[in-house]
Amino acid sequence: MRSLAQSFLKEGHEQIGDLLAGGFNLVMEPMETVRRGAGSSYSVAPNVKHSIGTHAATILLDCLTPVREDFLEDERRRER
């Protein structure tokens, strides 16, 4: 399994997630990197620069508010 390193994001959405399987390192500025494993949860406030890097096959359940219209549009295109 190859690890995934995500570039930093800074969004106007609040993000709350549960790590269902696997693990990742969560980086949120200005905090230190935190290693998370299956069964843990996390939250990212709006406009906070953040990134993850997986270190195992990983399944996340992410909830974002307000609704990410770009995600919905991608799903609508797939349904056509």
> Quick one: average pLDDT of 1-22?
82
pLDDT at 5: 64
Q: Which of 15, 7, 6 is nearest to 64 (CA)?
A: 15
CB 47 within 8 A of CB 11: yes
Q: Which domains does the chain have, with CATH numbers?
A: 14-79 (2.60.120.10)
Per-residue pLDDT band for 18 (boundaries 50, 70, 90) equals very high
pLDDT at 50: 92
CB 20 within 8 A of CB 38: yes
- Mean pLDDT (the chain, rounded): 87
pLDDT at 78: 83
